Amino acid sequence: MRRDILLTRRVQPAAIFARAWLACVTVLFVLPLPALASEAEPSGLATTRSDLSAKDLRRVLAVTRPTTDFSKAEQFEVMQGGAGTSTKAANRDAFSHSSANITFEEEATFKVGNGLFRKLWVSAPSSTQASDGLGPLFNARACQSCHLKDGRGHPPEGNPDATSMFLRLARTAETEAEKKAVAERTVLNFPDPVYGGQFQDLAVPGLASEGKMAISYQEIPVTLADGTKLSVRQPSYSVTDLSQGPLDPRTTLSPRVTPQMIGLGLIEQIHPADILGHADSDDRDSDGISGKPSIVRDHTSGELTLGRFGWKASNPTVRRQAAEAFANDIGLSNPDVPLHWGGCTEAQKDCFTMPNGVQQRLGDTELPDPIMDLVTFYSQNLAVPARRDIDKPDVLAGKKVFYDLGCASCHTPKFVTRRDAPNKAQAFQLIWPYSDFLLHDMGEGLADGQQVGDADGREWRTPPLWGIGLTKTVNGHTFFLHDGRARNLTEAVLWHGGEGQKARDGFAALAKSDREALIRFLESL
């Protein structure tokens, strides 16, 4: 039997979670009430909450108000994934647990989805017909191969295996017709005419891969205000051993490491009004932060909606994110992206001579709907781990520094999810992702020069910070940012430019004790 969504199903240790439970059922003070949604608002782009009563809306406004008291932890703070937060040990499996508030029957669905997420696919034809269809060109044989332990990928770092990192290939719209197509959201950008939208360094037997990714680094010295000397590394990307000739000279290379998987279903159920409410594309308040939403076209309904997944917020749903990964990363067609030969382009004639894994008795694509449903459910219900050390003086001091530097302007601490979420496990949950899910100009240093829909070559979606302190525990490394260039959290902060420049410079000017406190706060997330 499902527990009430405002309660935690597992209540250990008792001292911490009793406090969270009591806080969850407290009606807080009343704030001014904005207008409720009108029926004319498109559901995917609604600017007011249509799912809440006036009473609930007041509660939500109160509980999501930014804190001004850094003398103690906030109520609910330990349960950063709401009632679904995992309270299990913070070990290598910390990102692989199911949401704590799903039903017993849903646990079974989660486990089957987990099996499919870990499944190693093989090329067709195969005696194991339920496992064939790989490629012909691909980057990995399993979802888990990229999302290591459901966590964060990393650069090759001297290892030829680049499985958890890949290159997006694209050019910006040039003609008026192309610009119109992007403006109307019928395309995001324009892939390389030969190699397509993603560089694939693996291929099935009998077919040459597209080539190899090459990375070199230049160390750039940085001296902080207190005299501390360190360095950050500037990466340079290229491709070698190209099997189909050179890339188009207009094609840009955008490196991407795979992000962690936790909390995706909760992110999906943040009401669009709460994300759009943080947008300030023209920086009308003159705070230097001008986050803008990524508006994309839903491939199922054809309607405009809010993008919130991916490094440039190009996908609106967990299912669409999974469908594109299956098609482009592994080469498996599915009802959402029915490409039986994956990322093969018309110029790659040999690719289309290879067999695919479509079996009519199972459906029209290599992955039928039931598999997509199971993997989507698994991806939506990977639990966010509980916070650690939230009452420690250095963590509280670091939290204050985080707010004082303006980090919370983009890394929005908390939201309350939709009350009308399809699955009650994600409904009306107070969550702490530390992201506004908007696009921000991060400066020339982090620019990839690649347009992706509304995102230009300097813009990236604010990545959620929850779980970031467990990266080393789960994945054995501390590589951060979209391409893993930052070798630790300090370097990640120092790479912030553009809208993040003021916070970066403030960090560089801090005393050592304050810098260390900020890092301790981030490590507690």
- CB–CB of 248/193 below 8 Å? yes
Give the H/E segment covering residue 106. Answer: helix 104-118
Using DSSP's 3-state secondary structure scheme, residue 201 falls into coil
Q: Is residue 8 part of a domain?
A: no
Q: Is residue 93 part of a domain?
A: yes
List own/partner pairs for 8-14 with CB under 8 A and 24 or more apart.
8/79, 8/83, 8/85, 8/87, 8/100, 8/101, 9/83, 9/100, 9/101, 10/87, 10/100, 12/87
- Do residues 140 and 26 both lie within one domain? no
Q: Is residue 7 part of a domain?
A: no
- Do residues 134 and 173 both lie within one domain? yes
- Do residues 352 and 489 both lie within one domain? no
* Mean of pLDDT over the chain: 91
Among 53-67, 126-140, 320-334, where is mean pLDDT lowest? 126-140
Instruction: Check residue 42 and give its pLDDT.
Output: 67
- CB–CB of 56/419 below 8 Å? yes
Query: Domain boundary residue among 329, 362, 380?
Result: 380
- Do residues 336 and 315 both lie within one domain? yes
| Top-confidence residue, 281 or 200 | 200
- Do residues 253 and 125 both lie within one domain? yes
- Do residues 181 and 219 both lie within one domain? yes
pLDDT reading at 326 higher than 80: yes
The region that residue 255 occupies, defined by phi over 0 for left and psi between -120 and 50 for alpha, beta otherwise, is beta
Instruction: Check residue 158 and give its pLDDT.
Output: 64
- Do residues 236 and 249 both lie within one domain? yes
Q: Is residue 183 part of a domain?
A: yes
pLDDT reading at 9 higher than 90: no
Q: What percent of the chain has pLDDT over 90?
A: 86
Instruction: Check residue 18 and give its pLDDT.
Output: 34
Query: Domain boundary residue among 338, 360, 380?
Result: 380
Q: Range of 445's domain?
A: 14-34+42-103+270-292+381-523
User: In the predicted model, what is the mean pLDDT of residues 26-31?
Assistant: 30
Q: Structural domain tally of the chain?
A: 2
Instruction: Check residue 466 and give its pLDDT.
Output: 98
Query: Domain boundary residue among 364, 380, 396?
Result: 380
pLDDT reading at 34 higher than 90: no
- Do residues 209 and 124 both lie within one domain? yes
Confidence of residue 41 (pLDDT cuts 50, 70, 90): low
- Do residues 458 and 327 both lie within one domain? no
Q: Is residue 492 part of a domain?
A: yes
- Do residues 192 and 210 both lie within one domain? yes
Q: What is the pLDDT of residues 184-216, one digit of tens each?
A: 999 999 999 999 999 999 999 999 999 999 999
Q: What is the pLDDT of residues 414-458, one digit of tens each?
A: 999 999 999 999 999 999 999 999 999 999 999 999 999 999 999
- CB–CB of 296/304 below 8 Å? yes
Q: What is the pLDDT of residues 285-307, one digit of tens each?
A: 888 999 999 999 998 899 999 99
Q: Angle at Cα 14 formed by Cα 12 and Cα 16, nearest 5°?
A: 95
Instruction: Check residue 168 and give its pLDDT.
Output: 98
And the tokens for 176?
């008026």
Q: Is residue 22 part of a domain?
A: yes
Confidence of residue 1 (pLDDT cuts 50, 70, 90): very low
Name the one residue in this structure whose structure tokens are 């590394």.
Answer: 233
pLDDT reading at 13 higher than 90: no
Instruction: Check residue 33 and give its pLDDT.
Output: 36
Give the H/E segment covering residue 7. Answer: none
Q: Is residue 298 part of a domain?
A: no
| Top-confidence residue, 29 or 406 | 406
- Do residues 19 and 69 both lie within one domain? yes
Phi, psi at 304, each rounded to 5°:
-75, 140
Measured distance between the N- and C-terminal CA atoms of the chain, rounded to whole angstroms: 30
pLDDT reading at 16 higher than 50: no
The closest of 113, 90, 506 to 319, measured between CA atoms, is 113
- Do residues 322 and 395 both lie within one domain? no
What would the DSSP string read from start to end of 434-461? -----EEE--GGG-----BTTB-TTEEE
Q: What distance in Å separates the CA atoms of residue 317 and residue 331, rounded to the nearest whole number?
A: 20
- CB–CB of 250/171 below 8 Å? yes
Instruction: Check residue 161 and give its pLDDT.
Output: 63
pLDDT reading at 38 higher than 60: no
